[in-house]
């Protein structure tokens, strides 16, 4: 009876986990730089998938077309999308970067309709628009860098396109091999290898957890992200990209709620209330469209 709500639950669950992972990364950033944090984060996620290999993945998966698709996705996400986001913050600041990144569901709709032949209904379009506007409102803090080059917008836009495209191609791969775990294993393994290469090219020493135990926050984030990505892949396996991506994109709202209720870093504002009043109806519109 409630099968149509399962992808909604998976997607919102992933959004919550991504938000929790963001807070863990923020705690880890007190002890290291973003590149090292990304390496540990992706490495911990990769290890989680490899530990599940004997129990959840069949060996013949490696010989399917899905492997090539997931390898290709691994070259772009999560490492490239995270790097583009970091460069966006460097040139544009966190406010404008977060606001532009909120367009991910828009690009997801484009990939879903043009690449996968999904049908964009009026409730889904209205719900997606409400979520995007809510996330933009939530991200905007009223203070934006004045002097920034126009081309720097390509960084957060590129990150949004990479995220949308990666999820779309993952859905294609899942049609060949219906294993959300395998998709995560391959993409994160490739991304981790790239992250290791970048770390080596930077000439930076490998992380030392004995001298800096605060790095364990990145490990916690990686474990959370492995579960979040698995939820995303489960949702993509049974639903459309145009439904899954807008719901995942609510993670800034969960991040704010965690800041308010758990980490005590935020205070409730009128902007937050308006954003919530946009996001919740948007989620409901997408849910009933199922």
Nearest CA to 218 out of 26, 3, 16, 19 is that of: 26
DSSP 177: S
Nearest CA to 180 out of 128, 236, 98 is that of: 236
CA distances from 230 to 11, 95, 117, 216 (A): 10, 29, 24, 21
Give me the phi and psi of 246, to 5 degrees please: -60, -35
- Higher pLDDT among residues 188 and 28, named by residue: 188
Note the pLDDT of residue 151.
76
Is pLDDT of 188 > 70?
Answer: yes
95: which 2 tokens?
A: 């406010």
Note the pLDDT of residue 69.
95
Residues 196-224 pLDDT 10s: 888 788 776 777 777 777 789 889 989 99
DSSP 206: P
Nearest CA to 275 out of 23, 94, 146, 98 is that of: 98
Note the pLDDT of residue 169.
93
Residues 153-176 pLDDT 10s: 788 788 888 888 999 999 999 999
Average pLDDT, the chain: 83
154: CB partners within 8 A, 6+ apart: none
Give me the phi and psi of 262, to 5 degrees please: -110, -55
Mean per-residue pLDDT, 110-122 = 86
- Tell me how far the alpha carbon of residue 106 is from its chain's centroid: 15
CA distances from 111 to 172, 192, 224, 242, 251 (A): 11, 26, 27, 8, 21
pTM, two decimal places: 0.86
- Distance CA(168)–CA(236), nearest Å, equals 8
CB-based burial, 182-201: b 16+ in 10 Å, e otherwise: bbbbbbbbbbbebbeeebee
Residues 66-104 pLDDT 10s: 999 999 999 988 888 877 876 776 677 655 666 677 778
- Distance CA(141)–CA(134), nearest Å, equals 13
180: which 2 tokens?
A: 């959300």
Is pLDDT of 39 > 80?
Answer: yes
- Higher pLDDT among residues 130 and 26, named by residue: 130
Report, in angstroms and rounded to the nearest whole number, the Rg of the chain calculated over CA atoms.
Answer: 18
- Distance CA(64)–CA(117), nearest Å, equals 23
Using a CB cutoff of 8 Å and minimum separation of 24, what contacts does 59-65 make? Answer: 61/177, 61/179, 61/182, 64/176, 64/177, 65/173, 65/176
């Amino acid at each position: 009876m409630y099968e149509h709500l399962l992808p909604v639950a998976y997607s919102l669950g992933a959004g919550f986990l991504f938000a929790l992972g963001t807070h863990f990364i923020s705690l880890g950033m007190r002890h290291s730089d973003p590149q090292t944090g990304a390496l540990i984060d992706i490495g911990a996620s990769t290890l989680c998938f490899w530990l599940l290999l004997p129990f959840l993945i069949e060996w013949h998966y490696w010989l399917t077309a899905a492997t090539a698709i997931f390898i290709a996705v691994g070259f772009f996400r999560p490492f490239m999308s995270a790097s583009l986001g970091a460069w966006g913050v460097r040139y544009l600041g966190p406010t404008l970067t977060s606001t532009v990144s909120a367009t991910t569901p828009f690009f997801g709709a484009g990939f879903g309709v043009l690449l996968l032949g999904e049908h964009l209904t009026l409730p889904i379009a209205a719900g997606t628009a409400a979520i995007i506007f809510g996330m933009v409102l939530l991200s905007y803090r009223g203070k934006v860098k004045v002097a920034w080059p126009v081309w720097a917008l390509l960084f957060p836009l590129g990150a949004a396109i990479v995220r949308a495209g990666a999820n779309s191609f993952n859905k294609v791969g899942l049609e060949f091999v219906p294993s959300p775990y395998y998709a995560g294993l391959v993409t994160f393994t490739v991304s981790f290898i790239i992250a290791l290469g970048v770390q080596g090219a930077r000439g930076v020493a490998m992380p030392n957890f004995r001298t800096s135990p605060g790095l364990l926050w990145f490990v916690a984030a990686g474990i959370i992200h492995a579960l979040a990505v698995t939820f995303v892949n489960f949702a993509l396996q049974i639903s459309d990209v145009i439904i899954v991506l807008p719901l995942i994109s609510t993670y800034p709202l969960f991040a704010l709620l965690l800041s308010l209720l758990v980490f005590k870093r935020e205070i409730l504002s009128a902007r937050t209330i308006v954003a919530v009043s946009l996001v919740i109806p948007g989620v409901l519109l997408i849910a009933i469209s199922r």
